[in-house]
Structure 1
Amino acid sequence: MIIAVAGVAGTLGGSLLTQRASERAKRREIELLRDHEEARENLLLRRTCYVELNRDARQFTTALNHHLHVMRERSVEETDREALDDAKRAHRDRYSEAQMIAPDEVLVRASEVNQALNKAYGQVKRLEREEPEPGETMATAVQTQAEIWNMLRAMRTVMRHNLGVAPKSDDEQIGLPTQMAEHRSRR
């Protein structure tokens, strides 16, 4: 009788232990799937943010360039001002979004681009009002705007690395410090 009870208890106990182990394995599998899905969603969110930030920063840079051309060729009209301000607003919105999503290594480059764009915008607007600060001319505004392209390349490279699209490049491969230093030495 004791042997039979022990045998039944062992059989039941073994099946309970097997069931618990199976449940734990299923829970771990579900957790892994959730973690994987969360990582995919995070990657998709960052990718979307980076694409939009890159696009809007480039469009703002292009709008600044266009505005400078307009200022040299004719008087600025309200539609020209609106186009520039629309590009500025779009970039501001994307940059604000990136501040909440992007890691620090990307934000450093995005911040450099944002500051450069705002500096160029300020110069352009002061020149448009014919109230430039000392040393501000059309030539310096064009130069400031042109330098932004290198910063955009550096930002894009860091974003691509963060997404796993491109291998990590050091600053020299990104091109910003070397090109900026060469450019400044030519002035």
Structure 2
Amino acid sequence: MLARIQAEQFDRQQRAADAQWVREQRVAEVEKRRACYVTANSGYRRYRIELMKYLWLVHKAEVTAQARADLEETRLSMHTAFAEAQMVASDAVLRELDAMTVTLAGAYRRILQLADGNPYPGWSFEEIQTELLQVGQRWKNMRGIMRADLGVDPGIDPGVDPVPADS
């Protein structure tokens, strides 16, 4: 009887330890994704800002070798963040990052063409600038999807006015 009681206690302790291990693994997984999302969000934002700065330098005909090097460093940093995200991000987050990557890569290509004096038809300074400014709106959606994936309130819907019109 004592052996049976001890076996039951051991079994309960083992189940509790297993449940604790599972909880710790879930917390570690969420923390890993959170850190990855912070890095990706930061890397993409920084790259977008650097693209805007470089576009402005192209517009003013003041591009320097250092500005080009800064742009390339930032671009590579964003690609590193994207590569990390590809290993841990949810499918929903990865779809947003993929779309953002395509958009920023297109802007990069068009900016370089503009800098070379051979812009794509329909992609003037103003049009590229507008596109990069619109990427900021997409950020709100991407950020909301990342937050939701982490179990955090995604925040205010960017399409909804947070203050009622009659107040």
| Counterpart check, 1:15 vs 2:10 | no
1:99–1:35: structure 2 CA closer, same or farther, 3 Å change rule? same
Match of 2:163?
none
The 8 Å contact of residues 161 and 168 in structure 1, kept in 2 or not, is answered as no
Report the Cα distance in structure 1 between the residues aligned to 2:15 and 2:82, rounded to whole angstroms.
38
Match of 1:86, SS? helix
Out of 126, 134, 155, the position equivalent to 1:139 is 126
> Residue type matched to 1:152 in 2?
W
Amino acid at match of 1:41: A
1:141 and 1:75 map into 2 onto residues whose CA distance is 17
Alignment partner of 1:150 out of 137, 140, 147: 137
Contact 1:46 1:102 in 2 (8 A): yes
- Which position in structure 1 is the counterpart of 2:85? 98
Which residue among 5, 14, 22 is the counterpart of 1:27? 14
Q: Is the 8 A contact 2:57 2:63 kept in 1?
A: yes
**Distance across 1 between alignment mates of 2:140 and 2:111:** 22
Contact preservation (8 Å) 1:157, 1:174: no
Partner of 2:72: 85
For the residues of structure 1 that align with 2:132 and 2:110, how far apart are their CA atoms?
10
Between the aligned partners of 2:37 and 2:56, the Cα distance in structure 1 is 28
The structural deviation recorded for 1:120 is: 0.7
CA change 1:107–1:163 in 2 (3 A) is: same
Report the 3-state secondary structure (helix = DSSP H, G, I; strand = E; otherwise coil) of the residue aligned with 1:136.
coil
Runs of 4+ in 1 over 6 A off after TM superposition: none
TM-score calculated relative to the size of structure 1 = 0.81
- Post-superposition offset of 1:19: 1.1
**Matched residue pairs, number?**
160
Partners of 2:139 and 2:65 in 1: CA distance: 28
1:49 aligns with 2:36: yes
Aligned partners of 1:95 and 1:174: how far apart in 2?
24
CA separation of 1:31/1:155 partners in 2, compared to 1, >3 Å: closer, same or farther?
A: same
Instruction: Quote how far apart the aligned CAs of 1:89 are.
Output: 0.6
Of all paired residues, the percent bearing the same amino acid is 24
Given the alignment of the two structures, is residue 118 of structure 1 paired with residue 96 of structure 2, yes or no?
A: no
Q: TM-score, normalised by structure 2?
A: 0.90
Question: Which sections of structure 1, spanning at least 5 residues, go unmatched?
Answer: 1-13, 179-187
Structure with bigger helix share is: 1
The answer for unaligned runs of 5 or more in structure 2 is 161-167
Q: Which has the larger radius of gyration?
A: 1
Q: In structure 2, what is the equivalent of residue 4 of structure 1?
A: none
Rounded to whole Å, the distance in 2 between the matches of 1:174 and 1:97 is 27
